[in-house]
A and B are shown apart, each in its own frame.
Chain A
Amino acid sequence: MNDLPLLSLLVFLPWAGALALAALPGLSDRAARGFALACSLTTLVLGLVVLAGFNPAVVGYQFAEQHAWIRALHVNYRLGLDGLSLLLVLLTGIVSPLALAAAARGARDVRLLGLLFLVLQGSALGVFLALDFFHWFIFWELSLVPAFFLIKLWGGPGAGRAAYQFVVYTIAGSAFMLLGFAALYAVTGTLDFSALAKLGAAGQLAVLLGPKAVLAVFLGVFAGLAVKVPLFPFHTWLPPAYAEAPTGVSMFLTGVMSKMGVYGFLRVLWPIFPAQLHACAGPLLWLALGGVVLGAFAAMRQTDLKRMVAYSSVNHLSYCLLALFAVAAGTTPGGPAAVSALSGTVLQLFNHGLSAAALFYGVGVLERRSGGRRGLNDFGGVRTAAPVFAGLCGIAMFSSLGLPGLNGFVGEFLIFRGVFGLAPGTAAIATLGLLATALFLLTFWQRVFHGPRAGAAAGSFPDLDRGELLTFLPLVALMFLFGVLPHLLTGLINPLVTAWVTPLTLP
């Protein structure tokens, strides 16, 4: 297709930028910010280039690269991209520069921040593009390091603890995932996702490992992914981490990093362990449901706006898993319901990335204006003080609660349609989550933006400046764009999703 190793460039350009930043200790904050932003934008540019050359009708991996790497372990350096990866790469391309811009604004030591951020971005891209466990896991784990320091060094007063909790939880999951793959490797001698998926689909893994062990291995890999998403009840690290992280970092965490987990479910867990996932799907469905409902209700009870948005993330991501588990639990493969549910999942990934990032940004703006206050009751009448900001925030909220016409609606609608077809009872309960989401977002809207100007908004409360507008507006514009024209996205993934459900195996 192309002689340029586009995917490698995608992954390594941010890292190259980080290296360059590391090598230039004397850089001024301004120059560092500009340089970091430029490096961060390469993802979007290259993502669009890839998009231009992408053939949605092809189901397999495109732009694939493969090189022998570690002969002794039969590890190949293998990158590839399909519709799912492409969407997530684009999402990363969109969210990263904005998040970086938000984070770098007024921060100290911008060079280090930009450096860590670029490392983080590169790792995330690597996760979305790697097709062999070995380097996939490198990217997966490496993403923790910059995230840890971003939270710790630029975060709020409880950041140390939150960052520690975040990393330890995630590594705990990863350790078991690593063990799981170690076991897989011990019996199969390969770490290639495609090869493992073939074995998994043919039921070979269960034969090689034995029925009990295969379940243990499945649970290990599951644990690693579930912590990352996070799936209820593995989510307890998330609210403090998101709440303590600086705004830009929260945007990236929720916009991109939380997608890594769901991506892992779709790319790794389901294809390799279809039978095991099917067997466990019943209980898992309940867990996902728990995330949907309890996440929403927990959000409702928060008075800290950032924590509220954080819980809403738990809720929204649980929809994705709900759909996936519902499909996996289904006895009959295929069917329009499954297609719908899975398309919804992928769309939801993308949309939640946009809307949650926007919401965090909104809270960040409030925080900056009020000198760090972000309580639900610290504000009032922001709408009159800053109408543009209020409007943009409102759109983000409505996108988040799934108002038709905005992007959030399409994903959730498809998910619910699919899940109703597959597991009606679950879907019915899950609507409770929808309800609660609506409730807490409206409360947020009402308390903060309406009424007389009060609290932190009582004094001077300037509207968005040019820089903030430049960050906020693209997100909102995209919400409208994909709300009105969802097929721009679905077109990329439809063949893929159809292919997933027909033989119920993944490529």
Chain B
Amino acid sequence: MNALPWTLYTAFAGALLVLFAGARSAALARGIALVTAVTGLVLALFAAVSFVPGPGVQTLVDIPWIDSLGIRYHLAADGISLTLVVLTGLAATAGVLFSWNIEERVGEFFALYLTLIGGVYGVFLSADAFLFFVFYEIAIVPKYFLIANWGSTRREYGAMKLALYSFAGSALVLAGLLWTYAAGGAHGFALGELARAASTLPRGEVIVIFALVFFGFATLAGLFPLHTWAPTGHVAAPTAASMLLAGVVMKLGAYGCLRVALPLFPEGFLYWQPIIGWLAVIGIVYAGLIALVQDDFKFVIGYSSVSHMGFVMLGLAAANARAVSGAVLQMFSHGVIAGLLFAVVGRMVYDRTHTRQLADLQRMPLHRLLPFAAVTFVLAGIASMGLPGFSGFPAELTILVGTWASSRVWALVAAFGVLVAAAFTLRAIQLAFFGSTGESAPAEHGADAHPLAPISLPEKLGAGLLLATSVLIGLKPDLLLDWINPALQSPLFQAVIRKGTP
């Protein structure tokens, strides 16, 4: 367990190192980035081996930081953090592998990339709300530069929109946290202490503060109707950035909702619960329907991310142990699957064909030109549809089971969302990879005219890593649920999770 803080230290150290290495040699920079990412993953897994699940967080580091405000440098982990730390390690490693072809300003790219990763690790491990917020913002900033510098389609617009939405969200969070701290007379920013402070506030204030904090975080999680940054941001981002964006950054928002907003303000949550639930299910269906009519391949995936994050938010809104554990599982699962989908779209297809228009792709017999990409996308698509055997299934099933106990109507609408997800995923598979399956059609667009570069080894490794994870968790969700479920027994979570059986 004590290895966990090193995940973030290595990421930051790697960022610094790669920045200087990048000035000399791109290959060296790539190597360092890969080593750093893999080290993070190994550390996370190493910590996981010795992890003993239990209620409440297990402190890793706890030293006073800013005495005058009672702020402590307090890192801690429970099963939920650990799950997401492992996810971050996976996504980071895969992301480096899929950015192997970055040629421009390699050092800076990976420096920003690893800073982002370090921030994400930090968020997942923070037990002090101030520290949490600091890491949260550290994770947001590099996104702007990653997208604006190395992105594609309308990148500056997408980057700015994303940055502004993220910051508007985090400003709300900051406002809520400060309000609680100041008005509740807290002596520090430990989550338990803030929860105590919040409980002294009048109900009306708690309701408002909850809304600030929750919707602030939910902006980053892509909750409808605060999601509009997500598709444009995803589309504009370079592959690795969209992988991280969908894979872990959106999780930051959901994690913030779960770790901070819910336990601190149970009363506020009860007030907002119906609205959140409805927004979540509307998001699931709405984003799915939008994805169904997109012409740009990446937009399909972008909206699909919003739709799938809707399930996470639904799990949180249902607020029983089952639904919440499903939501965490879905965070993990979506992180892996969305990463994979973006990798195929951005790296395997777009970098080779230079188009993402489904109409253009339709004319290319991509399943023959890029069979590996086709197979990967089909498998990832299946996983994304929530078909059993992949991680999406146990996650969505658990969420649906939990949601049913809270609201049957939500569960029903969400089930419709599953259907929509299947429809748009299939459509994308069909149009992008199997647009021209006949014998005759490919002749003029054939591989002979403009051969596409074959799928490289790093891409194969990255895809294999993510696919294997998805299947593993699909077949053995216990691996994660055994971490997650005990964590939900902590008093902070129990304050808000009242119904449901573990």
Q: What is the count of residue pairs linking A and B with beta-carbon distances less than 8 angstroms?
A: 111
* Chain B 130-174 near chain A by CB (<8 Å), digits 1 or 0: 000000000000000000000000000000000000000000000
Q: List A contacts of B251 (CB < 8 A).
A: none
B228 CB → nearest A CB, Å: 27
With A71-B478, A72-B477, A160-B437 already in contact, the answer to whether A179 and B400 are too (CB < 8 A) is: yes
Q: How far is the CA of A160 from the CA of B427 in the complex (A)?
A: 10
Q: How far is the CA of A220 from the CA of B415 in the complex (A)?
A: 10
Q: Which of chain B's residues has its CB closest to A177's CB?
A: B415
A183 within 8 A of B: yes
Q: How far is the CA of A172 from the CA of B482 in the complex (A)?
A: 31
Q: Is the CB of A175 within 8 A of B418?
A: yes
Q: List B contacts of A135 (CB < 8 A).
A: 388
Q: Which of chain A's residues has its CB closest to B408's CB?
A: A213
Q: Is the CB of B397 within 8 A of A167?
A: no
B396 CB → nearest A CB, Å: 8
Q: Is the CB of A178 within 8 A of B400?
A: yes
A423 CB → nearest B CB, Å: 33
Interface size, chain A (Cβ < 8 Å): 41
Q: Which of chain A's residues has its CB closest to B320's CB?
A: A186
Q: List A contacts of B403 (CB < 8 A).
A: 182
A111 CB → nearest B CB, Å: 12
Q: List A contacts of B404 (CB < 8 A).
A: 179, 182-183, 186
B272 within 8 A of A: no
Q: Is the CB of A186 within 8 A of B430?
A: no
Q: Which of chain A's residues has its CB closest to B417's CB?
A: A175
Q: Is the CB of B405 within 8 A of A164?
A: no
Q: Is the CB of A186 within 8 A of B322?
A: yes
B423 within 8 A of A: yes
A301 within 8 A of B: no
With A182-B397, A182-B400, A186-B322 already in contact, the answer to whether A141 and B418 are too (CB < 8 A) is: no
B398 within 8 A of A: yes
Q: List A contacts of B481 (CB < 8 A).
A: 70-73
Q: Is the CB of B434 within 8 A of A152?
A: yes
Q: List A contacts of B367 (CB < 8 A).
A: 153
B419 within 8 A of A: yes
Q: Is the CB of B393 within 8 A of A138?
A: yes
Q: Is the CB of A70 within 8 A of B394?
A: yes
B412 within 8 A of A: yes
Q: Is the CB of B416 within 8 A of A175?
A: yes
B355 CB → nearest A CB, Å: 20
Q: How far is the CA of A167 from the CA of B397 in the complex (A)?
A: 20
B401 within 8 A of A: yes
A30 within 8 A of B: no
Q: List A contacts of B177 (CB < 8 A).
A: none
B209 CB → nearest A CB, Å: 32
Q: Is the CB of A72 within 8 A of B437?
A: no
Q: Is the CB of B415 within 8 A of A176?
A: yes
B364 CB → nearest A CB, Å: 15
Interface size, chain B (Cβ < 8 Å): 42
Q: How far is the CA of A186 from the CA of B426 in the complex (A)?
A: 30
With A73-B394, A178-B400 already in contact, the answer to whether A141 and B439 are too (CB < 8 A) is: no
Q: Which of chain B's residues has its CB closest to A136's CB?
A: B388
The prevalent SS among residues of B at the interface is: helix
Q: Which of chain B's residues has its CB closest to A159's CB?
A: B437
Q: Which of chain A's residues has its CB closest to B415's CB?
A: A179
With A70-B476, A179-B415 already in contact, the answer to whether A141 and B427 are too (CB < 8 A) is: no
Within 8 A of B (CB), among A139-182: 139-142, 144-145, 148-149, 152-153, 159-160, 164, 167-168, 171-172, 175-176, 178-179, 181-182
Q: List A contacts of B405 (CB < 8 A).
A: 186-187
Q: Which one of A134, A167, A178 has the greatest number of beta carbons of chain B within 10 Å?
A: A178
Q: Which of chain A's residues has its CB closest to B322's CB?
A: A186
Q: How far is the CA of A172 from the CA of B418 in the complex (A)?
A: 8
CB < 8 Å: which of A137, A148, A153, A216 contacts B388?
A137
Q: How far is the CA of A179 from the CA of B281 in the complex (A)?
A: 14
B95 within 8 A of A: no
Q: List A contacts of B412 (CB < 8 A).
A: 179, 216
Q: Which of chain A's residues has its CB closest to B439's CB?
A: A108
Q: Which of chain B's residues has its CB closest to A157's CB?
A: B438
Q: How far is the CA of A462 from the CA of B419 in the complex (A)?
A: 47
Q: How far is the CA of A171 from the CA of B382 in the complex (A)?
A: 12
Q: List A contacts of B411 (CB < 8 A).
A: 179, 182-183
Q: Is the CB of A72 within 8 A of B485?
A: yes
CB < 8 Å: which of B378, B382, B394, B482 contacts A71?
B482
CB < 8 Å: which of A69, A142, A167 contacts B422?
A167
* Chain A 177-210 near chain B by CB (<8 Å), digits 1 or 0: 0110111011101000000000000000000000
With A70-B478, A189-B501 already in contact, the answer to whether A160 and B400 are too (CB < 8 A) is: no
B402 within 8 A of A: yes
Q: List A contacts of B465 (CB < 8 A).
A: none
Q: Is the CB of A164 within 8 A of B426?
A: yes
Q: Is the CB of B422 within 8 A of A168?
A: yes
Q: How far is the CA of A183 from the CA of B403 in the complex (A)?
A: 9
Q: Is the CB of B477 within 8 A of A70?
A: yes
* Chain A 210-252 near chain B by CB (<8 Å), digits 1 or 0: 0001001000100000000000000000000000000000000
> Please, could you name 12 A-B residue pairs with CB atoms under 8 Å apart, sorted by A?
A71-B482, A72-B482, A141-B393, A142-B387, A160-B430, A160-B437, A176-B415, A179-B412, A182-B401, A182-B411, A185-B401, A186-B401
- List 5 additional A-B contacts (Cβ < 8 Å) besides A72-B481, A140-B388: A73-B394, A142-B389, A148-B426, A160-B430, A213-B408
A residues with CB within 8 A of B? 69-73, 108, 134-135, 137-142, 144-145, 148-149, 152-153, 159-160, 164, 167-168, 171-172, 175-176, 178-179, 181-183, 185-187, 189, 213, 216, 220
9 A-B pairs with the lowest CB-CB distances in the bound complex, closest first: A72-B481, A138-B388, A182-B400, A179-B415, A171-B422, A182-B401, A175-B418, A186-B404, A183-B404
